[in-house]
Structure formats: C-alpha cells, structure tokens
C-alpha cells in the first residue's frame, strides 16, 4: 500500500469553486425543503403526513451534501482526490477521510431512502387494487426494515475500516457497489409500478367518467426522469467500482485513477444529478398540492375521492422518485 503522504494532491482553484457552487445549490435546496416541510406539517391529514416525510428526507439529504461540500476540504483531508488510508496510521489524516466518507454515505442513504419509501407505498397501493382481500403489511414498517438493512451495510463497512480489515479505498468501493445495485433495482421497480399505476388510473377514469390525464402524465414524467437518474447513477458507480478493482489489482492502490480530471468529472456528474433530481421532486410535490387545491374547490377529481386519495398519494410519492 502506497502512503498518501508520498503523493499529495492539493485542491485546485477549479475544485474549490466547484465545491462552493454545488454546496450552495444543496444549501438552497435545504432551505426550500425546510420551508415546504414546515408548511406541509400545518396542513394536517394522513396524506400530508406522508408528503411531510418526503420533504424531511429531501431536507436531510441536501443538508448533509451541503455540509460535505461547504466544509473546507483542508479540515477533513490532506488531499482533494481520494487516496488509500488505513485507520489509526500515525502519518495519515485517516480520521478526516473516515468522517468525510461517513458523511457521504449518510447522504446517499437518506437520498435512496426517498425512493425506497416511494416504492414501498406504491407496492402497498397496488396490492390494494390488484389483491383487495390480501393482507397488507404496514408500509412504514417495510420501509424501516429495508433502510435498516442498508444502514447495517454502512455500519459494517465502517467497522471493517476501523478494525483495519481494509482501507478507505475499499470503503468507497463497497459503497459504489451497493449504490449500483440499489439503483438497478429502483429502475426495474419504477418501470413496473408506473406501468401498473397508469393502467389503474386509466381504468378508474374510464369507469367514473373522469379525466386522469394529468396524473398519468405526471407518473410518466416521474418514470422517465427517475429512470434517467438511476441509470446514470448505476452506470457511474459500476464504472467506478470496475476501474477501482482493476487498478487495485494492477498497482496495489487507486492513486492512478484518482487524477484531478477524473475525480472532478465524477463529482460533477454525481452530485449535479442529485441536485437536479431533488429540485425536480420539490417542483412536482408543489405542483401536486396546487392540483389538490383546485380539486378541493370543485375540480374534476372530486368524483372519485377514494381513487384520488390513493393515486394522489402515489403521485406525491412519485415526486420523490425523481430524486435520486
């Protein structure tokens, strides 16, 4: 293992500006999500509670990302580009690297929790329509089990590093593989569920002689943008994992692939796509509330209250699927 102290990569001016720009973008998203969450909590109702939960997850994700980008990199790492470090080495700033990695992992976990919560609620609603008599588990309990499993992976990943079973580069590799797998699963589930939702909405609209075109379009929009995000994310993480594995076995470390240009490209693609998907989720959630206000004042969706209650809950959940 090559010590990072033998090959220091200081932060360039471009990377400094990049951190500030992306950090401010996440900070702005945090402020908007906080305001929306406070407003949503005042509305009351079961559906609003779910939407508030989504706003909370957006808030946590963007806040963690903002902190990571806006903290001066010199305070948590000796290099801007990642370098291999082992826990408790005297000549390494391993604690800063560990803190940085855990901050990134926590942000990724909260980001993907949004999509997991959406898919769990979608599955529950679809089960109600396609299997009316079947016993349904509580969506939140299922959500906590799935997120708890991912959190457990992150805990073991951290413990393996602290017990010196592998280096900081292996922590990044594990995270990349996990995120790639979750992204692929989300692409498959979003595609399947969205198709079923469109079928349900169009059928109910035909039966009740009510237009559900706006809801169908919203689900299609969520499907396209959500899948685009997850396909991009899974491809990025898989390339990262494959490259890391190849260079590790070839050179015994990852410093060769962690050049400034490659790392800067990775950062821009990964985190700007997150900003875009979070902002798009906030927009769709707001649009969904506007639609509800129209319906409450005598809009076209009042004819099928039960259907609307479920499908609008889906839509608000769908809004979250854009995140990611």
- How confident is the model at residue 253, as a pLDDT? 64
Mean pLDDT across 50-78: 90
- How confident is the model at residue 2, as a pLDDT? 38
| Tens-digit pLDDT profile for residues 140-183 | 899 999 999 999 999 999 999 999 998 888 899 899 999 999 99
CATH number belonging to the domain at 4-321, selected among 1.20.1070, 1.20.1250, 1.20.1460, 1.10.287: 1.20.1070
On the question of pLDDT at 240 being above 60, the answer is: yes
pTM of the model: 0.82
For the chain, give the percent of residues with pLDDT over 70: 81
Q: Domain boundaries in the chain? A: 4-321
Range of lowest pLDDT (81-90, 232-241, 281-290, 310-319) = 310-319
- How confident is the model at residue 255, as a pLDDT? 59
Burial classification of residue 115, based on how many CB atoms lie within 10 Å of its CB (0-12 exposed, 13-18 middle, 19 or more buried): buried
- How confident is the model at residue 105, as a pLDDT? 94
On the question of pLDDT at 6 being above 80, the answer is: no
Where residue 312 falls among pLDDT bands split at 50, 70, 90?
very low
Lookup: tokens for 103: 């901050």
**CB atoms closer than 10 angstroms to residue 275:** 17
Q: What distances in angstroms separate CA 239 from CA 9, 94, 177, 302, one per listed residue?
A: 23, 25, 10, 49
- How confident is the model at residue 91, as a pLDDT? 66
Specify whether the CB–CB gap between 80 and 9 falls below 8 A: yes
**CB atoms closer than 10 angstroms to residue 79:** 21
Mean pLDDT across 188-209: 83
Range of lowest pLDDT (7-21, 26-40, 47-61, 258-272) = 7-21
């Amino acid at each position: 293992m090559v010590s990072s102290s033998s090959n220091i990569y200081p932060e360039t001016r471009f990377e400094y500006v990049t951190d500030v720009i992306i950090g401010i973008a996440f900070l702005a998203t945090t402020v908007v999500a906080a305001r929306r969450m406070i407003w949503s909590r005042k509305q009351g109702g079961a559906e609003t509670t779910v939407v508030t939960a989504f706003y909370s997850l957006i808030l946590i994700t963007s806040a963690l990302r903002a902190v990571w980008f806006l903290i001066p990199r010199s305070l948590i790492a000796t290099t801007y580009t990642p370098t291999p470090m082992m826990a408790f080495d005297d000549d390494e700033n391993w604690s800063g690297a560990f803190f940085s990695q855990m901050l990134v992992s926590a942000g990724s976990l909260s980001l993907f929790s949004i999509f997991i919560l959406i898919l769990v609620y979608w599955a529950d609603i679809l089960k109600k329509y396609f299997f009316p008599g079947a016993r349904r588990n509580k969506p939140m309990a299922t959500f906590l089990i799935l997120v708890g499993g991912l959190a457990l992976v992150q805990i073991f990943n951290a413990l393996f590093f602290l017990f010196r079973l592998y280096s900081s580069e292996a922590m990044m590799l594990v995270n990349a593989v996990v995120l790639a797998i979750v992204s692929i699963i989300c692409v498959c589930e979003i595609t399947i569920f969205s198709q079923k939702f469109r079928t349900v909405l169009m059928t109910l609209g035909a039966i009740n002689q009510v237009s559900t075109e706006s809801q169908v379009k919203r689900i299609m929009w969520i499907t396209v943008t959500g899948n685009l995000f997850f396909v991009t994310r899974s491809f990025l993480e898989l390339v990262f994992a494959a490259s890391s594995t190849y260079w590790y076995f070839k050179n015994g470390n990852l410093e060769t692939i962690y050049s400034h240009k490659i790392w800067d490209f990775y950062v821009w693609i990964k985190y700007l796509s997150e900003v875009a998907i979070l902002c798009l989720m906030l927009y769709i959630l707001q649009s969904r509330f506007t639609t509800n206000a129209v319906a409450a004042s005598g809009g076209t969706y009042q004819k099928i209250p039960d259907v609307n209650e479920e499908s609008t809950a889906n839509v608000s959940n769908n809004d979250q699927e854009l995140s990611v």
